[in-house]
Amino acid sequence: MESHEPVVSAVWLHANLKNPDIKVLDASWYMPQEQRNAFQEYQVAHIPGAIFFDIDQISDPTSNLPHMLPSDEAFAASVSALDIQNKDAVIVYDGKGQFSAARVWWMFRVFGHNKVWVLDGGLPQWCKSGYEVESTLSQVAISRATSVGEAIKNIYRGQLVGPASFKTKFQPHLVWTLDQIKQNMSDQTHQHIDARSKSRFDGVAPEPREGIKSGHMHGSKCVPFTEMLDGSQMLLPEDELREKFVQEGISLDRPIIVSCGTGVTACIVNMGLHRIGKPDVPVYDGSWTEWATQPDATIITLAAD
């Protein structure tokens, strides 16, 4: 595995699946309106040995925003409860091919673990390649999820938890806050890429979350996350990725910040940038959901432009 590559192939994973120092995570997550239960789907069929990673559970319970990054201690306790150690190489996939796995790839990198890759094409590509899947007894999966949940609750209650087998080293340059976004609007040190669809960016299609107006932030440019992927939901080659960014007026010689709706699909654009040699691009964790709910937020729409 090459460190500058954010993905591994199904062929590679199948050949290395029994390596004890490789941990596979099913990080499937779906939008509420899709009415799909990722945890139940995991129990029915997943890559052999894979562990379920719930981005809604392994998050900051004190935030009113969806799946915000947890604290260092909470992430360490959660990952330790999943029996992951710093020596492990982590391979992440999801059930759509390429959707939520990139968020977990980014989370591990934020907390200092660079031995992390996404399965290119996800579970669909694994199955298409003819490789087997397995099911998990409900009580086993539920027990593991309960352990993670208890670890997070105890951390945020200030209670002691057992020693963590996974140690974090927070990388603040990989995550941006609302204040940094506001500062960038005046300083313009970073080009701002919005990974949502063009229709949501332009304000002509509704946001998937009730009460959130569509539109975009001043100065941002739209590069939908779908532009990073081919028809099989696999990351495009480096030359095609470069062309996608250049076509949208992004200078690859200048710093970049990426956002989306809630900090999930921005990580797919982040992976694309990583592949073309920009590994230190931050993601705005609160993204549009945080920005659009600010009382003083300026929301740009197609009509306003």
Q: Tell me: the pLDDT tens digits for 197-210?
A: 999 999 999 999 88
Q: State the pLDDT at residue 303.
A: 64
What average pLDDT values come out for the chain (305 residues) when binned by 10 residues? 85 97 97 92 94 96 97 95 95 98 98 97 98 89 89 92 90 98 96 98 93 94 98 97 98 98 98 97 98 92 68
Q: Can you give the pLDDT at residue 297? A: 87
3-class SS letters over 86-109 = CCCEEEEECCCCCCCHHHHHHHHH
Annotated catalytic residue, options 127, 222, 260, 267 = 260
**195 contacts 268 by C-beta, under 8 angstroms:** yes
How much is the pLDDT for 1?
A: 65
Query: What does the alpha-carbon distance between residue 79 and residue 138 come to, in Å, rounded to a whole number?
Result: 20
pLDDT at 32: 83
Q: Identify the three-state secondary structure at position 226.
A: helix
Strands (E), the chain: 7-8, 22-26, 51-52, 89-93, 116-119, 175-176, 191-194, 220-222, 256-259, 283-284
The span from the CA of 153 to the CA of 303, in Å, is 45
Whether pTM exceeds 0.85? yes
pLDDT of residue 67: 97
Residue 127 falls in the annotated catalytic set: no
pLDDT for res 259 = 98
Farthest-apart Cα atoms in the chain, separation: 56
| CA distance linking residue 27 with residue 39, whole number of Å | 9
